[in-house]
Amino acid sequence: MRQKMGRWFALVGLVGLMLIGGCSGANTDNASSGTASGDSAIAQSPVLTPAPGPATPYANLARLDGEATVEIRVKGSPIEIQVNGQDAPITAGNFVDLVNRGVYDGLMFHRVVREPEPFVVQGGDPQSKDASVPLGMLGTGSFIDPATSSPRYIPLEIKPAGAAEPVYGKTLEPGTAPVLKHTRGAVAMARSQFPDSASSQFYFTLADLGFLDGQYAVFGYVTRGMDVVDEIQQGDRIETARVTAGLENLKTGG
């Protein structure tokens, strides 16, 4: 029991270094280096997304009104993701929009954590397309919107169980269960300490990670190819990412 608890606390520590620093420069090689990840995350902090207005909340952001299916190919093998725009419309819309733009093609999985227990596979940093960018810099990049020449961030979006609408810009209160949970094969957005700092980086969960529920925005699940996810190594790349169904549900905003 003591050994099991020790492993659990080690995973909680990795959350702080790996996912809360999702837009920071920490990677699997330096995740245990102490405060570098947190300092970098603060230095990379974005301008926070405004709170939603009563009429058109986040009207300038992409939304997914319904569901979509995305296929990611890694080393020639497909990973199929069912994207849930019913319960996470902005987070799902952002991901489907980036896939449809071809943003993820050629990007690296820069963070893979399987020890002391299976944890996450993380990628989606646009900087990773450039092979000359040092591995230690990956995790700091965001999608630069060509329409504004600025990073595009989305709000933290989590729908509590039984609620009609998601909660924006903050984590759920302890004991409040989300609709979309961190079960094995969940797909969710990485972010810094700031709730509204997710952009393009996402992660697959390699196990049930209930202690992340209500803290990070899950927007879909792997429905085929979890064996491919299990074999991803740090440095592997997304060969292609394509929307194979549901693109008509994407609304690209104002």
Flag whether 133 is in a domain. yes
Flag whether 66 is in a domain. yes
Flag whether 247 is in a domain. yes
Q: Is the pLDDT of residue 151 over 70?
A: yes
Flag whether 7 is in a domain. yes
pLDDT bucket at 61, cuts 50 / 70 / 90:
very high
Domain that holds residue 39: 2-46+61-251
CATH of the domain at 215: 2.40.100.10
Flag whether 56 is in a domain. no
pLDDT bucket at 20, cuts 50 / 70 / 90:
very low
Q: How many structural domains comprise the chain? A: 1
Q: Are 63 and 154 in contact (CB under 8 A)?
A: no
pLDDT bucket at 57, cuts 50 / 70 / 90:
low
**Interval 108-112 mean pLDDT:** 97
Separation of alpha carbons 101 and 89, rounded Å: 18
At residue 229, φ and ψ (nearest 5 deg) are: -60, -40
Mean pLDDT, the chain, as a whole number? Answer: 83
Q: Are 127 and 138 in contact (CB under 8 A)?
A: yes
In the chain, what percentage of residues exceed pLDDT 70? 77
Flag whether 235 is in a domain. yes
Question: Could you identify the residue written with the tokens 């094995």?
Answer: 184
Flag whether 51 is in a domain. no
State pLDDT tens for residues 65-105.
999 999 999 999 999 999 999 999 999 999 999 999 999 99
Flag whether 193 is in a domain. yes
